[in-house]
Every structure is written in C-alpha cells, then in structure tokens.
Structure 1
Amino acid sequence: MDITPETPWDSTPDISARIIAAISRVSSVLRAGMWEFATAEHLNPTQAEILQLLNDRTEGVRLSWLAAQLSVSAASASDSVTALVTKGLVRKARAPDDGRASALWLTDAGKQLVTRMGSALGFADDAAAALEAQVQGQLLVGLFKLIAQLQKSERFPTLRACLSCRYFEANKFPGQPTPHHCALVKAPLPITFLRIDCAEHQPSDAATERRNWEIFA
C-alpha cells in the first residue's frame, strides 16, 4: 500500500476554522475590556451591552427585541433592565406605536455612560485604524460577507445595517467604484462607508433585504 508522506502543514486547521478562531480571540479581548469597564461602573457585562444596544434609538425598543439581540430569555433581560432602571440609566415608558406596550430608552446619564464606554474600548478602534486603508476596506467587506452567510442560519440578530435599510439602493450604478446609493442623503455610497449600525436606519421589506445581503453572500 502506498503511504502518502505527511507535510509540515497536514495538521493545520482549515482556513475557515482559523478565521473563526481569530474572531473569537478578538471577541475575548473586547469582552475583557467591557468587563473591566462594567466592573468599574458597578454593572455586569449584560447590563453594559444593553446600554450599547439602546444607544441612538430615539423611538425606544421592546424588551423582547433586547432579549433576542442578547440571545437570552425575556426574564433574564427583564432582570438586567430593572437593575438599569433602578440605577437611573434606562427609562421605561409606553411605546409610541402601542399604548398597551412598554419601550425602553437611555436616560441622559445612560447616554453619558455609553460615551465613556466607547472611550474605554478605544484601544480596539485604534488597532483597526492603524491598518492600511486597503486592508480596512477588505476587512469590512469580508465581515459583511461573513454576516451574510451567518444570517442563512437564522442565528444572527437583526441589525440596523445599510443592507437592511429601505434607503439602501443596491447596485444603482453597476460597474462603478461606488455601485450603491443612499436615498436618505441622495448620494453614491462607497462600499467602505457601509454601516453595521446606523441611527437613521429604516427597515426595508424582507424580500429586498434578502436580495441586498445576497450581494455579499
């Protein structure tokens, strides 16, 4: 029987596994930074993440949405929200679109804390900013492509991303350096300007959103 000799690289994991391992390590560093900040502010990491999720959401959000974003039960999310309300960082009131339901907003103190949180995690932003512009662009597009693939598993939470926004006009200028268009600002949208989370986001219909993500899938 012929035996194929091993090469020095036979035990190397697939590149897909190494990509996920790298993302996991980066996530661990960010979580550690978040934990350090949250502990100093007498919060737990879930409470800190809730504050981030509520940032720039002027219309308020429902508890069920928060639970889905955090991948936790509604009861668990409710406990964290109650603690934040008690601390004066979150306020609860009637939802603008349904007087029978409640919605959540950041208080002024909550907004100030989120601003400080961004500064505390600035080391990661500095690291990304130190990359060459071309590498930053490739990395951003690659992450959009990965998100597009993950959404097929229905495990990825909803985003206020350009590709799920009704203002996003995909491939309005095919073949051009800036193929997409933003109807809100009425201007071509360079790929490197695509946003994962946009405060001006307005949801598009499901069919259009699927087509937009398929551009990157």
Structure 2
Amino acid sequence: MSMSDFVFEPVRISSLPVNGSDARFPIARVFCLGRNYPWGDSLNAAREVPAFFMKPATSVIDASGELVFPTQTEQFCHEIELVIAIGKDGFEISEEQALGHVWGYAAGLDLTRRDLQMAAKAVGNPWEQAKAFDGSAPITPIQPVSLVGHPRQGAIWLSVNGVERQRSDLESQIWSVSEIISQLSHSVSLRAGDLIMTGTPPGVAALEAGDVINGGISGIGEFDVRVGSRRADRPTQN
C-alpha cells in the first residue's frame, strides 16, 4: 500500500528514543494501571483485579524540556511510574512467559487533570478526559532489557522545586510486571510497540507554572522538566 492509497497522509508514528542507540521505539498503544502501590487507604487491603485505562500514542512525548500546562484544569498533577515497553505480540500470556514479551523499561509521568477526574468519578462517568490529553505521558528513553534486565526493586521518586513528593521502591508494587502483562493480555492482544504504565506511589499533588520536576527510577532513567505557563497566560502573538 502506498501513501497515495490514503485520503490524506497518515499521522506520523509516535516514538521514543532508545538508550545507547540512534533507533527509536515505535509506539502502538499506551495502557495504564490505575493503582499499584499501597496508599493510606489501601495499606492492608486485599488485591483487586487491576483496573486499566488508556492514553493515545500521541500523548507520549520525550521527558525533557518544557511541559505544556493543559487547559480545563486547576489541578494539574504528577504521577511517576515504571513504564514497560512491549516488544513481542501475545494474547493470554502466562505469568511465566510474560517477561519474554518485554523489550525494555523507562520512567514516565502519567500527568492528570485531577479535578476533571474527581468530577467524573463522582457521577460514575469515564475519566479519559482527565488522562488522555496532549503531552500527558512524558517518558524517558527506553532502556533495553539487554542492558538492564528485569528490575524487581529500585527507588522510584519525584521532587518538585527540590522538595521530594513521591518515593517508594519497585518491590512495593502490588502487581508485578509479569502479573500486569498476563492480566492485560487476557483482555486484549498485546502488540509490539505497546507501552504499559504501571501505577504511581502516594504523594501525588498539583503542579504550578514554572515548577521544576525531577524524577526517576534507579537503573532505568531520570528526567528534569519544567512546567510551562498556562495557555491562557501565554502572550498573544501578532
């Protein structure tokens, strides 16, 4: 099929850099796990079936430079997460086979319009609008499994303007990487290029224009980004 077979030029494939390579990792879909660390209200709670939601591939950006402060929110919140990069298709994958489908790992931000999310939850509506906006998934370069293996422990942290807000360890995750992949693959066929964001530790809070965010996961990746001005506050261009 040539480009002339389409009614217009297809959207450019979203991608992420690969550590130690000039190649980039092409992104198919982005799945996100709703809750995967013990928070204050769930420290001793029994595990429930994982709740997944999605972001479009176009929400993924390199975790560098300036983040656009999104419209329609007064609670623009950060969530630091381990990201799984899938490199092999599969359906109904067993936990024993799951790690064989992983191409690499990264550190990412699940940026959220928290006020929109809470309003939607209050009336039982889906809250995709709170999660799936442009630039809502800044992610570090992918670390290939061949370089980092499959991390089961390691610090995960985030600070804003030098003040730490989130800190935990990967070993505190409620669901392991193998379990997450297996559970998700029983719902949908996973494809090479899929990303899975695996949930965030407690400490989620709002960001303001001008905030400087530092975060990362030991052995996986670290980033420094700055929150830009609100779109309404940006100077008008003639």
TM-score normalised to the size of structure 2? 0.24
Q: Which structure has the highest helix share of the two?
A: 1
Q: Which structure has the highest strand share of the two?
A: 2
Work out which of the two has the higher radius of gyration on C-alpha atoms and give 1 or 2: 1
